Each structure stands twice: as C-alpha cells, then as structure tokens.
C-alpha cells in the first residue's frame, strides 16, 4: 500500500496536474486559434462589458429566467458546483499535503464543514443521475459518456468521504481516493467536463452578441 499510495500521490499526481493545466491551456489555445483561423469575426463582436454582464447573471442563482424556472435544479447545481470546487481546494488535509510538498499553504475549511460539503456533492451527483434516468427530455439526450463523466466527478468525493470516516478498508479507499482525484483532474480538459473551461467563453460570446448587436438580454 506504501508503494500504491506513493505512486498515485506522486508521479500520477504530477501527470494529472500536468494534464489538467497543460491540457486546459492547450484546449483553450486551440479553440482561440481555430477562431482566428476560421471564424475571426467572433473577435469583432466580443465586448468585455456585455461578456461580464452575461457571465455575472448566469453565475448568480436565480438571476436568470432559466434558473428561476428550475428552482430545485438551481439550488442543487449551484451547491454542487460550489462544493465541488471549494472542498478539494480548501480541505485541511489537502493543504497540509501542499505545505509538506511545496511549503505553500492557505486558508482551510473545518473538517466537519468539508464533510457536509462532500455530502452535498455526492447528493448532487445522485440527483443528476436520477434526473438523467427519469426526466424524459434529459434521458433522451443522455449517452454513456454522461454517466462516465458523472462517475469521474463523484468518485473522488465518495472515496474521500469514506476515507475521512475510515469506513471500509481505509488504506485501499485512501489510495483509490487519490487515484480518483488524479483521474478527474486529467479528464477535465479532455471530456465534456471541459465545460469548466469553455463555458465562460461561450457565455461571453453570446452575451456580447445579445448585448452589443441585438440589444437584448440573454438571461
């Protein structure tokens, strides 16, 4: 288990972070190059003001008609995404590992709070799964990849939750947790989890088109 842990938290973690950061930069640069190559006009229509106006409306819960029409989904998706990002970033044990490895550290969450946040992510994932399986319009467009990416995201939180509470075989669960985290990071730029990278751009473009050209709200 010593070796397993050291592999997943050492070389594999390095690879995961390189793939995450390198892949993210690569995907964004490629997209911008493609715009420059084939759809240069898009740059012409971009506007900081309308981009930010649009992004701002859509990252605030209930600030758009679409969010207001779906109150349950809105609460869950915002809680899910906020916890998804904040929990691993501000988890005490993660920050301690950063400190031990690179002597950098930052503010951390109390473990009890992080525990609840992990539960929120897991419940959110269960909700999304149930929605995919039961809501006809969502079910209709669901493909295998949708379940795969949901599993990729849920796995680090399920294993992290089990590891924190030391349920099941602790050392194995802990190693699987690190592995799951590696997989998620590496998968972000190369699966539709890349909406994390691209959605600000698509949102900004549509915000610009609606604001600058069409003089209409896009929320």
Partner 1 sequence: MAGPLKKEKAGVVDEGIDVGISRLSEAKIQSVINGVIESETGARLKTYVETCIHCGLCSEACHYYLSHDKDPHYSPVGKVKQTIWEMLRKKGRVSPEFIRRAAIIAHTECNLCKRCTQYCPFGIDITYLMSVVRRIIHKLGVTPLYIQDTAHSHSVTMNQMWVKGDEWPDTLQWQEEEARVEIPDLRIPMEKEGADIMYSVIAPEPKFQAQLIYQAAIIMQVAGVNWTMPASVGWDNSDMAMFTGDNEIMGRLKRSHFETAARLKVKKIVMGECGHAFRSVYDMGNRWLGWSMPPFTIVHAIEFYHDLIKEGRIKIAKKYRPPITLHDPCNVVRGGGLHEKARYVAHALCENVIEMHPNREHNYCCCAGGGVINTGPPFKMTRIEGNRVKAEQLFVAKTKGAEVLVAPCHNCHSGLHDIVHHYEIGLDIKFFGDIIYEVMEKPAQAGP
Partner 2 sequence: MRTVTLIALPLLIGILLAATPAWSQEEMTVVDNTNFDNPQRTPSVFVHDAHNETAGIDDCATCHHVYEGGRLVEDESSEDRRCSECHDLEGSDGQPPLIKAFHTNCKGCHQEQKQGPIMCGECHIKAGIH
Site residues (CB under 8 A) for partner 1? 31-32, 34-35, 37-39, 41-42, 44-45, 54, 58, 64-66, 69-70, 73, 132, 135-143, 146, 192, 194-195, 198-199, 201-203, 205-207, 209-210, 213-219
40 forms part of the interface with partner 2 (CB under 8 A): no
98 sits in the region (left: phi over 0; alpha: psi -120 to 50; else beta) called alpha
Burial class of residue 136, CB neighbours in 10 A (0-12, 13-18, 19+): exposed
17 forms part of the interface with partner 2 (CB under 8 A): no
Q: How far is the CB of 148 from partner 2 (least distance, A)?
A: 28
Residue closer to partner 1 by CB (options 3, 143) is 143
Q: Which two tokens stand for residue 104?
A: 């950098």
102 forms part of the interface with partner 2 (CB under 8 A): no
Residue closer to partner 2 by CB (options 180, 204) is 180
Quickly list H helices, 39-143: 41-45, 48-58, 65-69, 71-90, 92-102, 111-134, 136-140
Q: How far is the CB of 159 from partner 1 (least distance, A)?
A: 23
Q: How far is residue 50's CA from residue 207's CA, in Å, rounded to a whole number?
A: 5
């Amino acid at each position: 288990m010593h070796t397993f842990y050291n592999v997943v938290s050492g070389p594999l973690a390095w690879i995961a972070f390189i793939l995450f950061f390198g892949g993210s930069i690569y995907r964004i640069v490629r997209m911008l190059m493609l715009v420059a190559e084939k759809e240069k006009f898009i740059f012409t229509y971009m506007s900081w003001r309308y981009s930010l106006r649009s992004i701002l409306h859509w990252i605030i819960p209930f600030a758009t008609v679409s969010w207001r029409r779906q109150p349950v989904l809105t609460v869950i998706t915002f809680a899910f995404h906020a916890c998804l990002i904040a929990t691993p970033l501000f988890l005490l044990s993660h920050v301690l590992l950063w400190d031990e490895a690179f002597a950098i550290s930052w503010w951390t969450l109390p473990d009890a709070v992080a525990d609840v946040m992990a539960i929120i992510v897991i419940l959110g994932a269960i909700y999304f799964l149930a929605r995919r399986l039961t809501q006809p319009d969502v079910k209709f467009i669901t493909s295998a990849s949708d379940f795969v990416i949901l599993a990729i995201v849920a796995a680090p939180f399920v294993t992290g939750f089990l590891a924190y509470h030391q349920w099941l075989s602790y050392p194995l669960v802990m190693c699987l947790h690190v592995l799951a985290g590696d997989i998620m990071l590496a998968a972000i730029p190369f699966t539709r989890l890349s909406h994390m990278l691209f959605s600000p751009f698509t949102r900004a473009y549509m915000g610009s088109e609606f604001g600058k050209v069409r003089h209409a709200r896009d929320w």
